[in-house]
Structure 1
Amino acid sequence: MAVSLAPAALDRVRRYLSETPDALGLRFGVKKTGCSGWQYIADLAKQTEQGDRVFLQDDVRIYVDEASLAIVDGTEIDLIRQKLGEQFVFRNPNVRGECGCGESFTTSDEH
């Protein structure tokens, strides 16, 4: 079981963490929403929650709540740069379908 950061995402998360000294790492998970079912949540972790799994990649900790873990297990988080900005993208092997707008997704298992 693991969640990982591609090099560009790892560098960006490091910058976020250096700008927010009280952050412990990256919090990553999902919530029920959208037209397909699940939506990613990525934010800075300010505290450890009960049931968190913590993955360490180099010097960055990735906090994943227990309920999200089965849905995001194996996900690689990357960062793509476009003309005027950048955006995190999620390569999740558990995704089986996405809604037309790209905001939510489904998995093969109902969680």
Structure 2
Amino acid sequence: MVSAILVIVADKGNPQYALLAIIPTILFLVLDAYYLALERMFRKAYNAFIEKLHKQEISASDLYAVTPVGNILKTFLAALLSFSIWPFYVTLLVMIWIVKEVLI
């Protein structure tokens, strides 16, 4: 999406359209952070299951119930600050800014 918007910017020669590329960039940043948060919460659930298994405290209901463990908002905010998220999106935002500035 971002590439398509930047191609339109290059074709039309209007640098103001480059700012439209920020919208999908931010949306995908939030989506990536959300899925990273869910992954972390499911990993906590998996680790809790394994711990119960090793302590031999497992029950039949534990075998079929896989639910994320933790506070989604807190985990999401932690995921937003993750090193696995920011390098890609900061680079993308810098590239959008460069395209906007070069075409002026």
TM-score (norm 2): 0.25
Structure with the bigger RCO (C-alpha within 8 Å, sep 6+) is: 2
TM-score (norm 1): 0.24
Q: Greater strand percent: which structure?
A: 1
Q: Greater helix percent: which structure?
A: 2
* Larger gyration radius, structure 1 or structure 2: 2
